[in-house]
Chain A
Amino acid sequence: EVKLVESGGGLVQPGRSLKLSCIASGFSFDDYWMAWVRQAPGKGLEWIGEISQDSSTINYTPPLKDKFTFSRDNAQNSLYLQMSKVGSEDTAIYYCATGSFDYWGQGVMVTVSS
């Protein structure tokens, strides 16, 4: 069974950093592009970006390119999202997904507030 499990969310103060993790199982993680998508409360889906199998190619949505950093550890079947200088606009559920979006995690909530 394919599973993607995000973690690392919670309450964070404005201007601080936060690192989300996504642990994959049930498929050959190192064969897949992986992606991050977020959803602000009551809003639609926003594509954040994607990372290739060997991390050689990373595409970000331009408004978040300087704020978010993707990485992965194929030996640990893990995907990461490093968020820096967060603001209230980053409050959202963050989902990891396979690059073709055929599988999604359950999401992790990030709340930015003082």
Chain B
Amino acid sequence: DIQMTQSPSVLSASVGERVTLSCRASQNINKYLDWYQQRLGEAPKLLIYNTNNFHTGNPSRFSGSGSGTDYTLTISSLQPEDVATYFCLQRNSWPRTFGSGTKLELK
């Protein structure tokens, strides 16, 4: 199975700050990497699919990048409503595997 490692596990940032979350795969996943946002008490929501493709309805401040084993989710200007846990998911091979999440808090 492909292992997905997210860092940091907890991130504190200020409103308006640029934030970067990382996800590393244990092997090449060919850009089949998605990002999900999960607010407290809610279901996860797709933000980015296949590394850098926006899912409809999400703010443009979210963007993704990466290749091979290393991937990044960037929030260009953090907003209060972005407080959530963010998960990555690899869909390159079976079984699909999620990262353990990055909890994003306001400083």
Contacts and interface: CB of A to CB of B under 8 A. Distances in A.
A84 B100 CA distance: 26
Interface in A25-54: 37, 44-47, 49-50
Interface string B72-107: 000000000000000101000011111111000000
A104 B45 contact: yes
A95 B87 contact: no
B98 A101 contact: no
Nearest to B90: A47
Nearest to B57: A102
Contacts of A50: 96
B27 to A, nearest CB: 17
A47 B46 contact: no
**Interface-centre pick from A44, A46, A62 (highest chain B CB count, 10 A):** A44
A44 B43 contact: no
Contacts of A47: 89, 95-98
B87 A104 contact: no
Interface residues of B, number: 20
B95 A104 contact: no
**Interface-centre pick from B38, B55, B96 (highest chain A CB count, 10 A):** B96
A50 to B, nearest CB: 8
A46 B43 contact: no
Interface in A93-114: 95, 100-102, 104-107
Nearest to A101: B46
12 contacts: A44-B99, A45-B44, A47-B89, A47-B95, A47-B97, A59-B95, A95-B44, A101-B36, A101-B44, A102-B46, A104-B44, A107-B43
Given A44-B87, A47-B95, A101-B36, 5 more contacts: A44-B99, A44-B101, A45-B89, A62-B95, A105-B43
Interface of A: 37, 44-47, 49-50, 59-62, 95, 100-102, 104-107
